[in-house]
């Protein structure tokens, strides 16, 4: 038996040019999966794929804009053309958000863009991947990167609402696809700098003080749990659940820390 947990899998990871998506894509590739990395930022994504290729990983990069109506279908077509099949979908893409936004400052375009990428593209990719998995009788796995703010509001209505929607979408998918042997789960990360989260704007000192483990997280912290949830060796009986990986920040009032 191979020591690599995902040998023989074919994976699509969105938002893979930075942050959590980058960390997960690298982890899957190093565990033996053939991976398509995708992001709107080709300038950052292509060098990441090239670096993994130098390690001997079987990866390639496809640029995509998941905010467009045709983006998800075009990406799936490109992924199937590159890999021939898909057994793992990881939806990590999310537009960059401004920590100072609130219900009065978020524009209509920003609202629609956030929901388009996080929720609509997530559904379209999952449905398309599920059809492919079912047709091939693949025991597929899907993973959504949600947020603590799916349940705890913090003056980011577009982001929080889209993540809450992702959480219920994950549950609906898990219920519908379970009979086909397809598992669907989510990870709710804590404060992980990079990608769409600007730790400096959110207040690094307060975030660190309000995290039980005394530090902010890294993409690798999330990637390890992602591999565990996607690997049948560890999680074959896990579906429809959200795993919180936050260093204990949800145990504190990190949104409005007390004055000391």
Q: Between β-strands 34-39 and 10-14, what pairing exists: parallel, antiparallel or unpaired?
A: parallel
pLDDT digit string, tens, across residues 185-194: 999 999 888 7
The pLDDT confidence band at residue 255, using thresholds 50, 70 and 90, is low
pLDDT above 90: residue 210: no
In total, the chain counts a number of residues equal to 260
The total domain count for the chain is 1
- Please report which confidence band the pLDDT of residue 135 belongs to, taking 50, 70 and 90 as the band edges: very high
Q: Which residues pair with 236 in a beta bridge?
A: none
Model confidence pLDDT, tens digit, residues 159-188: 999 999 999 999 999 999 999 999 999 999
Whether 3 is in a domain gets the answer no
Q: Does residue 5 fall inside a structural domain?
A: no
What CATH number has the domain bearing residue 24?
A: 3.40.50.720
Residue 259 lies in a domain: no
Structural domain contains residue 159: yes
Domain that holds residue 221: 10-251
Give a yes or no: residue 256 inside a domain.
no
Residue 142 lies in a domain: yes
Residues serving a catalytic function are: 159
């Amino acid at each position: 038996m191979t020591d690599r947990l995902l040998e023989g899998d074919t994976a699509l990871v969105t938002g893979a040019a930075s942050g959590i998506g980058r960390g997960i894509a690298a982890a899957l590739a190093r565990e033996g999966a053939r991976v398509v990395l995708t992001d709107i930022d080709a300038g950052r994504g292509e060098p990441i794929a090239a670096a993994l290729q130098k390690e001997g990983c079987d990866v390639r990069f496809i640029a995509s804009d998941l905010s467009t109506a045709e983006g998800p279908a075009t990406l799936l077509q490109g992924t199937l053309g590159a890999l021939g099949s898909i057994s793992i979908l990881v939806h990590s893409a999310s537009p960059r958000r401004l920590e100072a936004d609130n219900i009065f400052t978020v524009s209509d375009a920003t609202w629609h863009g956030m929901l388009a990428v996080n929720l609509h593209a997530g559904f379209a990719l999952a449905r398309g991947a599920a059809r492919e998995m079912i047709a091939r009788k693949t025991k597929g796995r899907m993973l959504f990167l949600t947020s603590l703010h799916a349940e705890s509001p913090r003056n980011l209505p577009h982001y929080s609402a889209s993540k809450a929607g992702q959480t219920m979408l994950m549950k609906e998918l898990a219920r519908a696809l379970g009979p086909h042997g397809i598992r669907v789960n989510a990870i709710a990360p804590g404060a992980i700098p990079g990608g769409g989260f600007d730790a400096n704007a959110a207040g690094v000192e307060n975030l660190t003080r309000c995290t039980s483990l005394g530090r902010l997280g890294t993409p690798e912290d999330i990637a390890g749990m992602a591999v565990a949830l996607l690997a049948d060796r560890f999680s074959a009986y896990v579906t429809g659940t959200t795993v919180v990986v936050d260093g204990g920040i949800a145990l504190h009032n990190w949104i409005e820390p007390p004055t000391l």
